[in-house]
Amino acid sequence: MSISTTTPTGAPAHQAPAAPSIPSTTRHSPRFSEDILAVIIGLAVVALSLPLIGGVDLLGWAVVYYVARKWFGFNREWAVPLASGISICGVAAAISTGSAIRARPIVPILVSSLVVVFAVVEVLVLPFIAQHWLSNEPLVAAAWLGLAVKTDGAAVASGTIAESLILAKAAADGVNYQAGWIVGTTATVKVFIDIFIGVWSFILGFLVTFVVTLAIVLAAPDLASATKAAAVESNTFRVIFFLLAFFSIGVQANFSRLWQEEGVGRLVAIYVLCLFGFIIWVGLAISWIFFAGIKPPLA
């Protein structure tokens, strides 16, 4: 064994044996680092969604309720479901709060119809605004769409469209983000909204269904593939019943009478004023505060 000594200038007098090399299996690969980054970003998306949702929903509800009562003269029966439908999550919120205050069935039905109509408009417009103005902040755009578009399906659809547009624009600039992060953030924000407004009625129902399905699959593993196929088939029925629900609304409702006696025109005016004049911009501001600077992982 040779002993390494150094001269006063610091040069080695004798060459010591080379240190053993670190096996390559113990080094952190770039892929491992990217996975850790992806986990951190995912946790940030979940953590930041909670205060974002509470702030926008509660503030928006109070503003819409005030506008409906004080500026347009609606009574509580109309103002409550309208405020919930515009500011929280649309159809589910309007129906839940309408039932809670014992409103006539036509009230949440009509508000839900407005929500669906305006959600279609938002899906056709907001993703292109997000691409033009927010392509450098993809997760801000994603959270904004989750807050602004007031039905789950339309919100996810808008997130999907925005992701395609933003990823294409970023790729043209030489930046390739991983797919799925923009629409995933939109869906996460929307899911937390559903939890925020319907934990007792909706989320517990989902949990019970999940537990029952899990117990069946664990008891009979062969049923796992059949369960997945059944879930796909049941989604077809969900779409059919959704269409039938709104077809029934059109058959039942006397819209000419509602327009004259209930002030449906004023409902539309409130919706346009509050949604495009307040809700979507507050959602954008809060999304920017919480998500600015957070980027999806690179592909």
> Of 66, 123, 83, 60, which Cα lies nearest the Cα of 286?
60
Where are the chain's structural domains?
47-193+255-291
Q: What are residue 190's phi and psi, to 5 degrees?
A: -65, -40
Question: Could you write out the DSSP letters of every residue in 152-187?
Answer: HHHHHHHHHHHHHHHHHHHHHTT--BPTTHHHHHHH
Q: Supply the pLDDT for residue 172.
A: 93
Both tokens assigned to 221: 């593993």
- Helix (H) and strand (E) counts in the chain: 12, 0
Contact 94, 109 (CB under 8 A): no
Q: What is the pLDDT of residue 20?
A: 46
pLDDT tens for the chain, residues 1 to 299: 444 444 445 444 444 444 444 444 444 444 445 556 555 665 555 555 555 555 566 778 889 999 999 999 999 999 999 998 888 777 878 887 888 898 888 888 888 888 888 888 899 999 999 999 999 999 999 989 988 898 888 888 999 999 999 999 999 999 999 899 899 889 888 877 766 665 555 566 667 777 887 787 788 777 777 767 777 777 677 667 767 766 776 676 666 666 665 677 888 899 999 988 888 998 898 889 888 888 888 88
64 and 86 Cβ atoms separated by less than 8 Å: yes
CB atoms within 10 A of CB 59: 15
The confidence score (pLDDT) of residue 132 equals: 93
Q: Which residues contact 175 (CB under 8 A, 6 or more apart)?
A: 298
User: What's the pLDDT at 5?
Assistant: 46
Place of tokens 């399905």: 213
Distance CA(70)–CA(66), nearest Å, equals 6
Measured CA to CA, the distance from residue 57 to residue 89 in angstroms comes to 9
Return the structure tokens found at 260. 């004259």
CA–CA distance from 181 to each of 245, 291, 296 (Å)? 33, 13, 6
DSSP 3-state of 31 = helix
**Neighbour-count burial for 61-97, b at 16+ CB within 10 Å, e otherwise:** bebbbebbbeebebeebbbbbbbbbbbbbbbbbbbbb
- Tokens 């450098």, located at residue: 136
